[in-house]
Each structure stands twice: as C-alpha cells, then as structure tokens.
Amino acid sequence: MFVKEITIQYIKLFYILFKHWFRDLFASFTNSPPLKNLNSEIILITGAASGLGKGLAQRLASLGCTLILWDVDEVNNARVANELNNATKSERIHAMKCDLTNRESIYECARKVQEKFGNVTMIINNAGVVTGKPLVNCSDASIQRTFDVNVIAHFWILKAFLPSMLDNNYGHIVTIASGAGLTGASGLVDYCSSKFAAVGLHEALTHELYVLKKTGIKTTVVCPSFIDTVIFLLLCETSISSTAAQVEIQGTTGLHNSMDTFVGRQ
C-alpha cells in the first residue's frame, strides 16, 4: 500500500512538472502563455469603474466571458459596461452598484447576481482605497473604510460565492493585493496593514482549499507596485511620492501602467 501511494504521488508530481514545462515551451514559441477558454465563465470584478478594475474588465471582455462589474460609482461603472458591450458587440457585461463598506449591500448584490446569472466562477477582489497620510493624521472613519474595502469585503464576497464553488469543485479566486502587502511603508500604515491582511486571508484560504481537497478551485494573489490609477496619482501630488522608492517590489520605482506585469503568487 505504501509503495502504491508513493507511486501515485510521483505520477502526480510528474504531471504537474510536465504541465508547467509544456506551458513554458508553448510560451517560448508564441511569446505568450496559452489562454484559458473563458466563454462559459461568469466573472465578478469589484472596483471596476476605473483604474485596474477597468483595465481588467477591458481585457476580459475581449475573451468572451460574462462580466459582473461592481462599484460604488454607479455612473462610471455603467459607462464602462456600456463601452465594453459596444466594443464587443454583445450584452455580456453588466454593471451593478455595490457598497463594499456595507455587508448587507454585498449580500444583496450577490443574491441578485446568483438569481440573474447563476454561479460566479471567478472572483476578482480588486476594489481598494488608500488614504496616504501618517497614521496619527488618519481619521477613525478613514481607517475603518480602508479595512472595510481592502479586506473585510473579501470575507463577505467569499462567503456569498464560495459555497457554489465548493459544491462544484470549480472556480478561481483572485486577490488584487499590493506590494504594500509584502513590505511596510511610511504614510501607508493603514493601507499596508489592510493589504497584509488581504494576502494573509488569501494564503490561508488557499491552504484551506487544499486541505478540503478542492483542487478544482484555483487561487491567485497579485501584488503590484505603484500603479497609474486615480487613487495613487492624487496621492503622488502630496506626501506619498517619496514613499515610492521604499516599496521597490518590481525592481523599478514610481508608477506602472495598470496592465503591466505584476508580482504575484499562485
């Protein structure tokens, strides 16, 4: 029995190594990794009205999936959905207003999504806010909002959509964290803390899925450096510009276009 189990483990290991070797070989000839067929996927993106969330929506919309865009900015979120539907000549992109600081709002929006579109197969927890002030200058309300949006909302979203993924042993959970979730930085105490928590939540959940043998549910945590989005551009005009050099995650400092290559763990 022991020999049989060892043999099975070696076969699994060989399969994993071969899969990654083939993917790298394919990428070396095509200059890009093979793309998964997303035609049947239902993907939720939070914070999709601008910045990185909008960039992700633009990229995914071209791949044939159904997109659910959540944002508290109802006007710009609807504009993004309309632009993408026009660009793709489809009606696959849907905008919904959702306040991620409100647990009941999240649960209600999740209920509507499930009733109208079915089970979400990919969650991209992207929405984020940053204050960019020394800790003592951050109001209690701003600290609470930072944690509500950057990590607490992840719990409610996962509790709403993860059960169907567990039932089907299928899905993908993507956490857009930050380089600030890997190292601390002055002027970002609340933000770094919330992103460290998001990374911790994601990695612990990844281990939990492994223990539950839910190998069909994939997880990816993304830790970009400073990105060329509105929230950071506004802060770069103030005290946070000097912090960029401290968070040198990608080997370069300053701002990156929202769709540049990210540092992440999968």
Whole-number Å distance between alpha carbons of 41 and 61: 11
Residue of 74, 161, 73, 90 lying closest to 122 (CA atoms): 161
- Which phi and psi (to 5°) does residue 229 adopt? -125, 170
What whole-number distance in Å separates Cα of residue 231 and Cα of residue 227? 9
Q: Please indicate whether residue 191 is annotated as part of the active site.
A: yes
Helix, strand, coil shares, percent, the chain, to 5? 55, 15, 35
Describe the strand order of the beta sheet including 93-97 as a list of residue ranges.
93-97, 66-71, 42-46, 122-125, 171-176, 217-222, 264-265
DSSP codes of every residue in 80-149: HHHHHHHHHTSS-EEEEE--TT-HHHHHHHHHHHHHHH----EEEE-------S-GGGS-HHHHHHHHII
Task: Identify the residue whose tokens are 């169907």.
Answer: 164
What does the alpha-carbon distance between residue 188 and residue 166 come to, in Å, rounded to a whole number? 35
User: What is the H or E stretch that residue 219 is in?
Assistant: strand 217-222
Strand bridging mode 217-222 / 264-265: antiparallel
Q: Is 176 helix (H, G, I), strand (E, B) or coil?
A: strand
Q: Of 15, 170, 191, 210, which residue is the catalytic one?
A: 191
Catalytic (active-site) positions: 191
